[in-house]
Amino acid sequence: MCGIFAYLNYNVNRERRYILEVLFNGLRRLEYRGYDSAGISIDSSLSASLSRDPNSPLSLRVPPLVFRQEGRIESLVKSVYENVAATDLDLEESFCAHAGIAHTRWATHGEPAPRNSHPQTSDPGNEFLVVHNGVITNYQVLKETLVRHGFTFESETDTEVIPKLAKFVFDKANEEGDHGVTFSQVVLEVMRHLEGAYALIFKSQHYPNELIACKRGGPLLLGVKEFSEGIAASSFHDFNVLKNGKPKELFLSSDANALVEHTKKVLMIEDGEVVHLKDGVVSIFKFDNDKGKNCGALSRTASVQRALSILEMEVEQINKGSYEHYMQKEIHEQPESLKTTMRGRLIRGGSCKAKSVLLGGLKDHLKTIRRSRRIVFIGCGTSYNAALAARPILEELSGIPVTMEIASDLVDRQGPIYREDTAVFVSQSGETADTLQALQYASENGALCVGITNTVGSAIARNTHCGVHINAGAEIGVASTKAYTSQIVVMAMVSLAIAGDTISNQERRDAVIDGLYDLPNKVRDVLELDQEMKELAKLLIAEQSLLVFGRGYNYATALEGALKVKEVALMHSEGMLAGEMKHGPLALVDENLPIVVIATRDACFSKQQSVIQQLHARKGRLIVICSKGDAASVSPGGLCRIIEVPQVVDCLQPVINIVPLQLLAYHLTVLRGYNVDQPRNLAKRELLNELFISRLRLLGQVILMMLLLALKVKAYVERPQVNRDEDRTLLRTLQNVPPVEGPLEQEIVGQSAGEQTGGWQGEGVLNEETPSVLLPELAQTQLELPVNPANTEGNAGLEERPESPISSSRIPLTEVALSVSFISVRS
């Protein structure tokens, strides 16, 4: 995934050097999201001075500067300053108003290279520039259309279509004499044509000192720092803060990490919102592409009033402090993060000394959950492992069957989910695409959806019916550590809350609650193994492979320990269920392969002793994690390497046992010389997934069917084009598009403009009602056009662009026409 950032100063003088540093720092905070290339755009001197005169012709303006560099943020920084030194760019030049954008990339479409880095541009003159996080699924058809309109592409990215589409929309408006088209009108029109998940920031030479942000899918926040005196704290939630046009600095970021050092006043931009920053004013428009989908109704936009929130995050949380790496810091933070996770949620005392758990986000839903036929845990990677660790205690305390689902697998299989199910979505980021899709699927199937996430305001937190924030604090290292232990603790608390306070389970509940109270101290004790794990890492540094055996509560520990070693130390590592050892893995055992066996005290202890005996008998090279004082019981002949950990109540033991494995992975990585915070090919949030690939596959099948259908209904396909309503002066359909070659026939179903009744109403109110459709088609790129029932009946009906290319009936086309409609401005 990528990180996007922008900085706009309004009526506050800032030197170019300062602006650059703010952008670079923003990128450094977001680097964990992607780090194979980066870029920024700032104004050049002439464009800045002319920008004070809004009427200055474009020909006199100097294009914004764009710097793009392969590699990490620091190589971008170096190349920018080298470039500055080689030119006469004045770093001390002051700007009263300025808009800069920045991007850190994790390559998906096209290799890491300057041409594929962002900002992506509309043309050599950089009239429109875009930074993008996410994926545009219909970029191919847009690209082919734009190519036919004379655009040339220089990158392999999906993003490049966006600035080019913006330029196309802008140019058409001006050609038609609409010289007053606003930046937000252009972007709303562009957004109408985009499919996929994205967060975008636009900068344009035509709209100096303005920025537009919009999103559908990816996270995006606006930070507001005001400079006016006398702004009382109570005005934080006042919408006027966004509207007053007073001196201020505005920041846009994929993540709160990059905002908190500037301001804690933030607005979480929601899906479908377009945020326009202009003259110190923040205008927000809602674009709802779903409304009236496929039923001929109109899409609408309207202005939105939103209040700011205050970030509950401290700057220290995003700094490394005295640690060398974020992963190291986050491992050592666990005693504190666990306390924060439990704060205010454990209750012990009162007259009868009752012990209980209070989860504010769940209390109103406990009855429904208790009545569930089944609880389904759903997650990916570490979050899945955390759920697996918590499953036994939930089953035991609730008596409800608990099943596990890897999010992508559930979606692939379209596995059964019922109304009587409670589906629990576990995700640190709350933004993982696979988990989000599974959430949408479960929600459509009527299940009660519960979220367990670290990120307040994330898509999962917003789209679940209820849930619990784990409150572990910002986790910046790509490998999840403190979030994992906090997730287990939250799920143990969820189990206690569901169990209620029946007499039969009181003793067990009390033991778990006591264990939770004491857990941070025990984690502090186990962290003292740091040096010991470093020594072990030195012994394993040159190994090719590592196996980890666990069972019961600690099967999850084996999977998670192996995942940590795999993802950061780049060493092959497998977590295995010890009960399965003799059904395959035993064949691997010899005197060379290092094997970690988790054998702390619980109901499975004697079985693990037996596993150790069998591995030892085959000369296995064993490292055993056991409870303090158990060394002799788990090391036949004293030949195993022993790691002793504090013993806690069985269901919380995974929290303790994972810590030495986290430390081992950390030290192995550092000793092997790899980047521990930003491992190769991984980024913290996996927003991309295979959905669009599978959609393309499905689309292929649909196309085949359509081809057959096309043969059969040739006469139908050859029917005359539907008349366009020429009176709709704001609807432009390009007439000069050369036909593409291909076996299929052309049909351009121009959407009738319908009633363009809307417009800007008063200050910033957008009430646009004209659907604008990029009429995608074409044989070669395998896209089709949805049939507009109104049109086929000869009516001047309206049709909204379908969100999914596979969801509606369609006929094949051979040519693309780009129809652009504009929002009328009411005076």
Closer to ligand BG6 by CB, 122 or 428: give it: 428
- Minimum CB separation of residue 753 from ligand BG6 in Å reads 43
- DSSP per-residue letters across 775-812: E---TTTT-EEE--HHHHTT-----PPPSSTTSS-EEE
- DSSP per-residue letters across 648-694: --GGGHHHHHHHHHHHHHHHHHHHTT--SSS-TT--S-----SHHHH
383 near ligand BG6 (CB under 6 A): yes
448 near ligand UD1 (CB under 6 A): no
Residue 466 interacting partner from ligand BG6, ligand UD1, none (CB closer than 5 to 8 Å by kind): ligand UD1
480 near ligand BG6 (CB under 6 A): yes
Contact present, 570 and 673 (Cβ < 8 Å) = no
435 near ligand BG6 (CB under 6 A): yes
- Minimum CB separation of residue 180 from ligand UD1 in Å reads 42
Whole-number Å distance between alpha carbons of 321 and 334: 15
Residue with tokens 């099943």: 403
Site string for ligand BG6, 306-345 (x = CB under 6 A): ----------------------------------------
CB atoms closer than 10 angstroms to residue 371: 11
Residue 497 interacting partner from ligand UD1, ligand BG6, none (CB closer than 5 to 8 Å by kind): none
- Minimum CB separation of residue 540 from ligand BG6 in Å reads 22
Number of residues counted as binding ligand UD1 (CB under 6 A): 12
485 near ligand BG6 (CB under 6 A): no
Stretch that binds ligand UD1, among 440-448, 458-466, 578-586, 714-722 (CB under 6 A): 458-466
Peptide bond into 119 cis (omega under 30): yes
Question: What's the farthest any 2 CA atoms get from each other in the chain?
Answer: 93
Phi, psi of 441 (to 5 degrees): -65, -45
- Minimum CB separation of residue 386 from ligand UD1 in Å reads 14
Residue 469 interacting partner from ligand BG6, ligand UD1, none (CB closer than 5 to 8 Å by kind): ligand UD1
Site for ligand UD1 in 725-744 (CB under 6 A): none
Closer to ligand BG6 by CB, 104 or 294: give it: 104
Whole-number Å distance between alpha carbons of 238 and 171: 38
DSSP 3-state of 484:
helix
Site for ligand UD1 in 295-354 (CB under 6 A): none
Contact present, 566 and 572 (Cβ < 8 Å) = yes
408 near ligand BG6 (CB under 6 A): no
- Minimum CB separation of residue 686 from ligand BG6 in Å reads 3
Contact present, 432 and 440 (Cβ < 8 Å) = no
360 near ligand UD1 (CB under 6 A): yes
682 near ligand BG6 (CB under 6 A): yes
Options 467, 561, 646, 812; binder of ligand UD1; rule CB under 6 A: 467
Closer to ligand BG6 by CB, 127 or 686: give it: 686
Whole-number Å distance between alpha carbons of 607 and 613: 10
427 near ligand BG6 (CB under 6 A): yes
Q: Return all residues near 4 (Cβ < 8 A) that are at least 6 apart.
A: 30, 101, 102, 103, 118, 131, 132, 133, 199, 200, 201, 220, 252, 253, 254
Tell how far CA 305 is from the center of its chain: 25
428 near ligand BG6 (CB under 6 A): yes
Options 134, 379, 451, 786; binder of ligand UD1; rule CB under 6 A: 451
Residue 375 interacting partner from ligand UD1, ligand BG6, none (CB closer than 5 to 8 Å by kind): none
429 near ligand BG6 (CB under 6 A): yes
Closer to ligand UD1 by CB, 431 or 777: give it: 431
Q: Where are the alpha helices (DSSP H) in 448-600?
A: 459-463, 482-499, 506-526, 530-540, 555-569
Q: Is residue 640 annotated as a catalytic residue, yes or no?
A: no
- Minimum CB separation of residue 662 from ligand UD1 in Å reads 24
Residue with tokens 């089953």: 395
Contact present, 387 and 410 (Cβ < 8 Å) = no
- Minimum CB separation of residue 359 from ligand UD1 in Å reads 6
Whole-number Å distance between alpha carbons of 747 and 786: 11
Angle at the Cα of 568 (from 562 to 570), degrees rounded to 5? 80
Token couple for 281: 């004013």
Please identify the residue of the shown chain whose CB is closest to the bound ligand BG6: 381
Of the candidates 2, 214, 466, 604, the residue annotated as catalytic is: 2
Stretch that binds ligand UD1, among 175-183, 448-456, 513-521, 522-530 (CB under 6 A): 448-456
Closer to ligand UD1 by CB, 154 or 312: give it: 312
Strand pairing class (402-406; 354-357) = unpaired
- Minimum CB separation of residue 481 from ligand BG6 in Å reads 10
Contact present, 331 and 279 (Cβ < 8 Å) = no
Stretch that binds ligand UD1, among 163-171, 201-209, 333-341, 451-459 (CB under 6 A): 451-459
Site for ligand BG6 in 458-477 (CB under 6 A): none
Residue 201 interacting partner from ligand UD1, ligand BG6, none (CB closer than 5 to 8 Å by kind): none
How many CA within 13 A on the CB side of residue 523?
Answer: 29
CB atoms closer than 10 angstroms to residue 116: 24
Options 37, 155, 253, 464; binder of ligand UD1; rule CB under 6 A: 464
Tell how far CA 230 is from the center of its chain: 37
Residue 26 interacting partner from ligand BG6, ligand UD1, none (CB closer than 5 to 8 Å by kind): none
Residue 328 interacting partner from ligand BG6, ligand UD1, none (CB closer than 5 to 8 Å by kind): none
Contact present, 220 and 199 (Cβ < 8 Å) = yes
460 near ligand UD1 (CB under 6 A): yes
Catalytic residues: 2
Which residues contact ligand BG6 (rule: CB under 6 A)? 380-383, 427-429, 432, 435, 480, 682, 685-686
Which residues contact ligand UD1 (rule: CB under 6 A)? 360-361, 451, 453, 456, 460-461, 464, 466-469
